[in-house]
Amino acid sequence: MYVPDDPPENCPACGAPYASVSRHAGGFMVNLIDNERYRRVCFHPVGTSAGAAFDCFHHTHRQAGGSVDE
């Protein structure tokens, strides 16, 4: 998993703090059904020297404004 060298302080898609970020240049699948750690993943398009990619920002339940009990 590639992690950007210069990750922003907050998620550029929703403005909330995030737990981790990863960059994906190919196809990928996200499945958060019943995920205990993460509530939301935001996607932000980026251009790289190798072409287009997505930065994926992972928000925990607390960072996404939900209860950890949900």
Residues that bind Zn ion (CB under 5 A): 11, 13-14, 42, 57
Work out how close the CB of 13 gets to Zn ion at its nearest, in angstroms, rounded to a whole number: 4
Q: Tell me how far, at minimum, the Cβ of 65 lies from Zn ion, in Å.
A: 11
Q: How far apart are CA 14 and CA 44, in angstroms?
A: 10
Strands (E) in the chain, as ranges, are 20-24, 38-48, 51-60
Q: Cβ closer to Zn ion: 13 or 53?
A: 13
Least CB distance to Zn ion at residue 16 (A): 5
